[in-house]
Amino acid sequence: MVESRSSQVFKWLLGKSPHAAERRFVGRQTVPANVLILGCGRSGTSILGELFEHIGGYTYYSEPNFDSILQMTFRKPVAIKVPKESPRVRPTAGLSFPLDLMLEVIPKPRVIYWQVRHPLDAIASLRVGISKNWGHHPRPPDWKNWQKRPLVEQCAHHWNFINSVGYAAVQGLVEITRFEDMISAPFPFAAQVCEQVGVPAAERRSELRGWSERVQDTNNRRFVEARTSRAYSRPDHERRVGRWKENLSQAEAARSAAIVRDAAVTFGYEIPQFD
């Protein structure tokens, strides 16, 4: 059966992605999708989460305990960034929560984002938190053994664990969003996210512009860092994209590359060959 042109257009309006939110209508109003943001720390999950504070209509939760999510009513759309583990339930490998239960709790329509950043840049940025008793979550199950190894290798192992084991658990359920796309074109990035979750971007141009202006590759006067990221930030680099070239020695980059290379290919990142 050949799909009608009107059907094709309607699907395009709902979002080109195969994982675009199912739309739910109340009267003439589209109800925006609930949002779950996942990915490795220092990859842009926080600033993506704060986009939902800008566009309005959402209640945004940054790293809530999974138990608190079980108590949410979802009477209005919520956006949740990387929940923290609950001692009462066993998480899915690579995630901080049991995926099957999370999918039962967060009602449709919903969109799940997997935020990712070039591994060498993420490793450079992870050093502060990982040096503090592996202060990013979820921790790999063997994280204590890795504490005996150089710090950059610990960071590489953390990125690799989340973006291989964690991503494998949700592959097929998520929209992949890349830090580099966010930095290079923040307004189109934000507009696309709005359309994916059912918020008309044309009606939020002012809000999107406000968020976009704070997303910068350099520490210029317009840059405003995400609140929960500030404790992990250091003024040791000029640019965010490619910062590993400023922060990592060739030897450190080579050791990191050996750990993350395979997972990096999954997300289209090229890792240089080091002698």
Checking if the pLDDT of 251 tops 90, the result is: yes
| Residue percentage of the chain with pLDDT more than 90 | 80
More confident of the two residues 195 and 10: 195
pLDDT-derived band at 21, boundaries 50, 70, 90: low
168-218 tens-digit pLDDT: 999 999 999 999 999 999 999 999 999 999 999 999 999 999 999 999 988
Instruction: Give the per-residue pLDDT at 111.
Output: 98
Please work out, in degrees rounded to the nearest 5, the angle formed at the alpha carbon of residue 121 by the alpha carbons of 119 and 123.
Answer: 65
**Pick from 67, 41, 68, 64: nearest CA to 139:** 41
Instruction: Give the per-residue pLDDT at 275.
Output: 73
Where do runs of H (alpha helix) occur along 117-218? 119-131, 143-146, 151-161, 167-170, 179-184, 186-197, 205-214
Checking if the pLDDT of 25 tops 60, the result is: no
Q: Which residue has the tokens 């995400």?
A: 226
Which residues touch 223 (CB under 8 Å, ≥6 apart)? 214, 215, 216
Instruction: Give the per-residue pLDDT at 233.
Output: 64
Q: What is the mean pLDDT of residues 53-72?
A: 96
pLDDT-derived band at 27, boundaries 50, 70, 90: very low
Measure CA 138 to chain center. 14
Instruction: Give the per-residue pLDDT at 123.
Output: 98
Mean pLDDT of the chain: 88
The domains of the chain, with CATH numbers, are 28-266 (3.40.50.300)
- As given in the structure block, the two tokens for residue 206 are 């002012």
Instruction: Give the per-residue pLDDT at 63.
Output: 97
Instruction: Give the per-residue pLDDT at 229.
Output: 56
Checking if the pLDDT of 237 tops 80, the result is: no
Instruction: Give the per-residue pLDDT at 98.
Output: 98
Q: Are 122 and 160 in contact (CB under 8 A)?
A: no
Give the pTM.
0.88
70-91 tens-digit pLDDT: 999 999 999 999 999 999 999 9
Low-confidence winner among 5-9, 139-143, 192-196, 251-255 (lowest mean pLDDT): 5-9
With residue 35 as reference, give the H or E element that holds it.
Answer: strand 34-39
Checking if the pLDDT of 118 tops 50, the result is: yes
Q: What is the mean pLDDT of residues 127-135?
A: 97
Q: What is the mean pLDDT of residues 39-62?
A: 95
Instruction: Give the per-residue pLDDT at 249.
Output: 97
